[in-house]
Amino acid sequence: MIDIKFLRENPEIVKENIKKKFQDKKLPLVDEVIDFDKKFRETTVKGDELRNRRNSLSSQIGVLMKDGKKDEAESIKLEVKSINEELEKNEELEKKYSEEIKSRMMLIPNIMDPSVPIGKDDSENVEVERFGDPKVPDYEIPYHADILDSFNGLDKESAGRTSGVGFYYLIGDIARLHEAMLAYARDYMINNGFTYAIPPFMIRSDVVTGVMSFEEMEAMMYKIEGEDLFLIGTSEHSMIGKYKGQIIKKDELPINMTSYSPCFRKEIGSHGLEERGLYRVHQFEKQEMIVICEPEESMEWYNKMWKLSVDLFRNMNVPVRQLECCSGDLADLKVKSCDIEAWSPRQQKYFEVCSCSNLTDAQARRLGIRIKGEKGNYFAHTLNNTVVATPRGLIAVIENNYNEDGSVTVPEVLRPYMGGLEKIVPKK
């Protein structure tokens, strides 16, 4: 959510930003906010005047009663009563205008960083840099579900019986490799100065609307029936929500944390052959990183964060690239975002494994996360990035470490978490 003062003073900049995101249907919101804001401020001024008038009259009543001027005192009491009735109506208008403003401000996208490329959707995202050689071996790499099946490592049929489409069992060495990746990612982030946390896996609606847009919430979140609770789609939600309503001292910044959680998401698209695999699922596990920092430091942190993901995947022998998200692919709260994509030697293309975002003060405004400064309090900046998410990360590791004999070499950094195992050998 942007600063209403900025919108009030720069409506054309806000409208141009909306146009660059190809969301022209939201353009009327800007003028509507300005109109309601004007009415709200007029009503606020009127309310202050009424309260001052009431206080002035109320102070006279005691004096008049003391002087025996009961009739005059009763007359003033009637006037005070009339002011209270008018004030009550005025406060109802204040509340109405405030709610009208907020409902529209929550839909107006954050102002993008000037460096964001303009494009309608993810097909127009821009490759920035590649890390590692995207190789294609001279032997066939099977579909990842078939590789996992050769190790007796994947059972979607049983998961279909227990839970339905979009769920899975990981078994044996594959399950162990999956957990090794998460454990390594945890220790990797701790070694890079991040504090480890395991957060709540459910959050209330006011936290959900604080960390994401309504469109994202509808597409992603599972609601717990009969309770004001949602299953998290990523631990970023509960980790940023941890600081809701807090005033943070300057010397406590930056706050940089890494968190583990299972993640739950409603979306599962139709992707042909990929539907029997693990590219799109309702449940997965993830190591996340979040940062809360001073406004002037957020871009520096943004670049540090995505580079951490690059180095982690390179340590697991996975070539990756950084892809800059264009304006049409940028979620409303984000100022700048990039994806880290892993190379798939089977498909001979890259696919997303991490997403890094700078939201500046958008989440902080919604959640009331402020910094205590020498000249007053101001909103913090928040950032988030995937360290590793499985099973997508698992697919990348398996394909890029697959051998001609059907075995998978365990990356050296993961071996301590696999009891020293160097290779996973097929059972079929």
DSSP secondary structure, 210-237, as one string = HHS-HHHHHHHPEEPTTSS-EE-SSHHH
> Among 76, 105, 134, which residue terminates a domain?
105
CA distance 253 to 250: 6
Per the domain annotation, does 51 fall within a domain? yes
pLDDT at 274: 47
Instruction: List the chain pLDDT tens, one digit each, 428 residues.
Output: 899 999 999 999 999 999 999 999 999 999 999 999 999 999 999 999 999 989 888 888 777 777 778 888 888 888 889 999 999 999 999 999 999 999 999 999 999 999 999 999 999 999 999 999 999 999 999 999 999 999 999 999 999 899 988 899 999 999 999 999 999 999 999 999 999 999 999 999 999 999 987 777 777 889 999 999 999 999 999 999 999 999 999 999 999 999 999 999 986 544 433 457 888 889 999 999 999 999 999 999 999 999 999 999 999 999 999 999 999 999 999 999 999 999 999 999 999 999 999 999 999 999 999 999 888 999 999 999 999 999 999 999 999 999 999 999 999 999 999 999 999 999 87
306: domain CATH number is 3.30.930.10
pLDDT at 77: 87
CB-count exposure of residue 345 (10 Å: 0-12, 13-18, 19+): middle
pLDDT at 49: 93
Q: Which of 134, 175, 88 is CA-nearest to residue 313?
A: 134
pLDDT at 275: 58
What does DSSP assign to residue 158?
H
pLDDT at 38: 96
16: domain CATH number is 1.10.287.40
Q: How far is residue 335 from each of residues 22, 37, 38, 180, 376, measured CA to CA in Å?
A: 15, 24, 28, 33, 25
* Domain total of the chain: 2
Per the domain annotation, does 215 fall within a domain? yes
CB-count exposure of residue 172 (10 Å: 0-12, 13-18, 19+): middle
CA distance 193 to 257: 8
**Three-state secondary structure call for residue 342:** strand
CB 407 within 8 A of CB 424: yes
| Tokens (6 digits) for 135 | 């190789």
Together in a domain, 81 and 136: no
In degrees rounded to 5, what are phi and psi of residue 322? -100, 130
Domain coverage including residue 403: 122-424
Q: pTM score, two decimals?
A: 0.89
Together in a domain, 54 and 199: no
Q: In b/e form, how buried is each residue of 389-416, taking b as 16+ CB within 10 angstroms?
A: bbbbbbbbbbbbbbeeeebbbbbebbbe
Together in a domain, 243 and 368: yes
- Cα torsion at 113, 121, 388, 260 (round to 10°)? 80
Together in a domain, 126 and 76: no
Together in a domain, 127 and 92: no
What does DSSP assign to residue 370?
E
CA distance 21 to 334: 12
Amino acid making up residue 33: V
pLDDT at 9: 95
156 CB-near residues (< 8 Å, 6+ apart): 145, 167, 168, 169, 276
Together in a domain, 60 and 131: no
Together in a domain, 283 and 178: yes
CB 286 within 8 A of CB 390: yes
CA distance 223 to 141: 39
Amino acid making up residue 38: K
Together in a domain, 16 and 78: yes
pLDDT at 389: 95
Amino acid making up residue 299: M
> Among 105, 139, 158, which residue terminates a domain?
105
